[in-house]
A = this chain, B = another copy of it.
Amino acid sequence: MLTYTKKYTVPYYESDANGNMKLPSLFNIALQVSGEQSHSLGVSDDWLKETYHYGWVVVEYEVTIHRLPRFSEVMTIATFARSYNKFFCYRDFVFYAENGDELLTIHSTFVLIDIESRKVVHVENEIVAPYQSEKIAKIIRGHKYTALSATTLEKDYHVRFNDIDQNDHVNNSKYFDWMTDVLGYDFLSSHVPSKIHLKYSKEVLYGATVTSRVDLVGLQSFHDIASEGKHAQAEMTWREK
């Protein structure tokens, strides 16, 4: 298992009103670092596209946050491809503070899709071999999401041009924006997340308006993003600042 690391300083524009790193930025930079690992191993996204017409797609995140990175903090991000089976690749990210303390960890689940058909394909050994990832037979069971029993808050979000990435759909980091924004300024400036489960089920395209619904029960929030059908679900645990 090869670990790739990168130092990163949190810039002003990736920090929120409280000086904490914004959630979407956290996932942007994580995926950037994993892309850099792929590139350094000769299996870049471009190579994957040209050779196989495949692309990586994140289907699930599980995040444990001890402390959010702060504006101008220098941290080290480590990532490695933990294991894979016929359909799923499991990749971890660990964000470390300068003194070596763990800030947060992300367990992610990826699939490979055929870029034309948008269908999930088998994971070829050749694609993942360079990461020295462990092949496992077992399909790791994802988090069980409970359907929203009530709606505390909901808000509509129009997809904007800058939400769309080069895969011609809404970038996966945007969902964190929609899911948290609905909680409002007072909640978000007095609470930080400590645990997040998020599952993507259907891509969102330009032109869509999605509804972000949340059921807030104490310090737990249950989320979904829907338009025609459900696009994503999440559960978050919060703590007071």
- By the criterion CB–CB under 8 Å, are A19 and B185 in contact? no
A12 in contact with B185 given A160-B177, A177-B160 (CB within 8 Å): no
Interface SS of chain A: mixed
Q: Which residue of B lies closest to A28 (CB)?
A: B13
Q: How many copies does the complex hold?
A: 2
CB of A12, distance to nearest CB on chain B (Å): 6
Interface size classification for chain A? 20 to 34
Specify which chain B residues have a CB less than 8 angstroms from the CB of A177 in the assembled complex.
160, 162
Bound form: Cα–Cα A15–B45 in Å: 15
Given contacts A19-B166, A185-B207, contact A13 B171 (CB under 8 A): yes
Interface assignment of A130: CB less than 8 Å from any CB of chain B: no
B-facing mask of A162-203, CB < 8 A → 1, else 0? Answer: 101110100101000100110111001000000000000000
Bound CA span A183–B145, Å: 38
**A58 within 8 Å of B (CB atoms):** no
Docked Cα-Cα span, A16 to B160, in Å, equals 11
Closest to A167 in B: B17
A110 at the interface (CB under 8 A from B): no
